[in-house]
């Protein structure tokens, strides 16, 4: 039976392992952290792998989880986005996208990573194709013509694993990428994303807001519970401390109210804020012999358009298709030219999403008056030019890949 090792059991590593399992490929996941015990349906707790963040899943991502048979469970914790409103603080421009007008059920669904992670973990634990080995830290990786050898430290002792294919899904600062000697292009946005959940006096009615404020682009997305919304607010690096901690709850709610106006009603309550430094990290190569870089190890993006994880899922989906096609006539799952063909096939979609996210951040972070007018005209035009909205909507939904 074909076998693979995945280094890193974050959301990407776990999702990929389930896709491989469905294709009847045996997988070992090597994860540095310790996973929580199965918590059933108890209230969800944050874990370093599945934290306070939320993911806006595109329709394509939902389709992937439907094919894995997980969507019926995930749906219980997810909220559809039926309308997206894009505005800029202190400006006249605005744009609105409505699912109904685009003839789609929704633009995607928002799910708390803590729930998504728990459902993925449960599915992995139930799969007879996946072996989950946590509390092991990968420290070395070598490969020859037929095999990859991975050394990991578990409870202070080295353990060695072999497989004809390895996938490095070990995050932005990928150890595997470093060991393989693959360089990465690094751009620091000098921003930190504040992430939390708030309660507003007006129900969200399944509307997502993207608001460009002088402090940074602010996203407010609907969550289960009529009045709960997730907040992602990138602010200047070094300025985040004033918003963190319980003592700053009122200060944070007031700032949010000022940046947002009253579209969501009053901002009444906030959960604790968490902060994430924002950078763009792009690996120079993704297929190296019998190893593939995947997820944040391959490309880490600014979260402004909620595209990072969706892009990673599309990569994983395509990789599994390449592997299964190849395995119909061959036995070696890690054949390097197949992995190179996979990498080549993904570059166009990846580069489009990378350019899109980067230009939105940079285009809206500049407060030059001329640029501001251009942005407002752009938003108004976007709202009126026939044909543009369906194009953007379908792209945002991951259907153009
Ligand atoms: C604020 C914010 C909001 C976001 N919102 C969205 C959104 O709405 N939609 C969207 O599509 N994307 C979003 N993203 C992007 C998304 O979160 C990432 O694409 C996704 O988390 C990448 O997951 P990953 O599994 O590749 O990496 P990680 O989550 O970093 O997982 C890597 C795993 O590898 C393990 N590991 C590392 N080193 C080793 C080692 N040496 N040995 C063994 N294990 C190791 C780590 O412990 C970890 O579990 C957002 C990102 C941010 C920062």
Q: Given this model, what pLDDT does residue 162 score?
A: 97
The Å distance, Cα 368 to ligand 1 centre, comes to: 34
Ligand 1 binding pocket includes 49 (Cβ within 6 Å)? yes
Cβ(108) to ligand 1 under 6 A?
no
Q: How confident is the model at residue 88 (pLDDT cuts 50, 70, 90)?
A: confident
What is the number of other CB atoms lying within 10 angstroms of the CB of residue 21?
A: 20
Is pLDDT above 60 for 372?
no
- Angle, alpha carbons 243-249-252 (nearest 5°): 50
- Residues contacting residue 154 through CB under 8 Å, at least 6 positions apart: 133, 135, 136, 137
Cβ atoms of 124 and 29 closer than 8 Å: yes
Distance 132 CA to ligand 1 centre (A): 18
- Mean pLDDT to the nearest integer, 73-93: 84
CA 198 vs. chain centroid, Å, equals 21
- Residue bearing the bigger pLDDT, 172 or 44: 172
Question: Ligand 1 in contact with 304 (CB < 6 A)?
Answer: no
The side-by-side arrangement of strands in the sheet containing 136-143 is 136-143, 148-154, 157-163
Residue 102 — pLDDT band, cuts 50, 70, 90? confident
User: Rounded to an integer, what is the distance from CA 368 to the centroid of its chain?
Assistant: 31
Tell me which of 401 and 142 has the higher pLDDT: 142
pTM, to two decimals: 0.91
**pLDDT tens-digit profile of 323-337?**
999 999 999 999 999
Ligand 1, atom 11: closest residue by C-alpha: 309
As given in the structure block, the two tokens for residue 221 are 């997305």
Give the residue whose CA is nearest to atom 51 of ligand 1.
303
Cβ neighbors of 88 (< 8 A, separation 6 or more) are 94, 211, 212, 213, 364, 372, 375, 376, 379
What's the gap in Å between 170 CA and the centre of ligand 1? 8
* pLDDT for position 316: 98
Q: Measured from the CB, is residue 53 less than 6 Å from ligand 1?
A: yes
Whether residue 346 is predicted with pLDDT greater than 90 in this model: the reply is yes
Per-residue pLDDT tens for 222-254? 998 899 999 998 888 998 899 898 889 999 999
For 232-292, the DSSP string reads: EEEEETT-GGGG-SGGGHHHHHHHHHHHHTTTT--EEEEPPPEEEEEEEEEES-SEETTEE
Task: Report the candidate in 57, 70, 62, 61 with the shortest Cα–Cα distance to residue 111.
Answer: 57
Closest atom of ligand 1 to CA, residue 169: 26
Interstrand relation of 78-80 and 109-112 (parallel, antiparallel or unpaired):
antiparallel
pLDDT in tens, 261-306: 888 899 999 999 999 999 999 999 999 999 999 999 999 998 877 8
The Cβ of residue 128 has, within 10 Å, a number of other Cβ atoms equal to 7
Average pLDDT, the chain: 87
Copy the structure tokens of residue 208.
């997502």
Please report the atom of ligand 1 found closest to the CA of residue 110: 8
At 401, is the pLDDT very low, low, confident or very high (cuts 50, 70, 90)? very low
Q: 158 CA distance to ligand 1 centroid (A)?
A: 25
Amino acid 305: pLDDT:
76
């Amino acid at each position: 039976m074909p076998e693979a090792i995945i280094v890193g059991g974050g959301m990407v590593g776990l999702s990929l392992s389930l896709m491989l399992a469905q294709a009847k490929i045996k997988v070992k996941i090597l994860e540095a952290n310790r996973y929580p015990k199965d918590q059933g349906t108890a209230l969800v707790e944050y874990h370093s792998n599945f934290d306070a963040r939320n993911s806006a899943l595109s329709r394509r991502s939902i389709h992937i989880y439907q094919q894995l048979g997980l969507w019926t469970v995930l749906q219980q914790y997810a909220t559809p986005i039926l309308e997206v409103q894009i505005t800029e603080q202190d400006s006249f421009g605005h744009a609105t996208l409505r699912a109904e007008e685009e003839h789609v059920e929704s633009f995607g669904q928002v799910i708390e990573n803590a729930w998504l992670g728990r459902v993925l973990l449960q599915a992995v634990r139930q799969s007879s194709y996946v072996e989950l080995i946590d509390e092991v830290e990968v420290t070395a990786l070598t490969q020859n013509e037929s095999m990859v050898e991975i050394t990991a430290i578990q409870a202070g002792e080295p353990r060695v694993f072999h497989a004809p294919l390895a996938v490095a899904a070990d995050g932005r600062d990928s150890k595997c990428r470093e060991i393989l000697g693959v360089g990465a292009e690094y751009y620091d946005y000098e921003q930190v994303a504040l992430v939390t959940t708030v309660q507003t006096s007006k129900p969200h009615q399944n509307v997502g807001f993207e608001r460009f404020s002088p402090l940074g682009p602010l996203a407010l997305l609907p969550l289960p519970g009529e009045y709960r919304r997730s907040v992602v607010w990138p602010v200047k690096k070094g300025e985040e401390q004033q918003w963190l901690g319980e003592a700053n709850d009122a200060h944070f709610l007031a700032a949010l109210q000022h940046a947002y106006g009253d579209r969501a009603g009053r901002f009444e309550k906030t959960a604790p804020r968490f902060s994430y430094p924002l950078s763009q990290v792009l690996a120079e190569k993704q297929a190296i012999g019998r190893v593939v870089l995947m997820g944040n190890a391959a490309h880490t993006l600014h979260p402004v358009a909620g595209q990072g994880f969706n892009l990673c899922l599309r990569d994983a989906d395509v990789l599994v298709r390449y592997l299964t096609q190849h395995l119909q006539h061959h036995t070696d799952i890690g054949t390097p030219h197949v992995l190179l063909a996979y990498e080549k096939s993904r570059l166009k979609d990846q580069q489009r999403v990378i350019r899109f996210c980067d230009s939105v951040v940079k285009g809206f972070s500049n407060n030059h008056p001329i640029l501001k007018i251009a942005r407002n005209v752009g938003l108004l035009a976007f709202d009126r030019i026939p044909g543009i909205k369906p194009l953007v909507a379908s792209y945002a939904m991951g259907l153009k890949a």
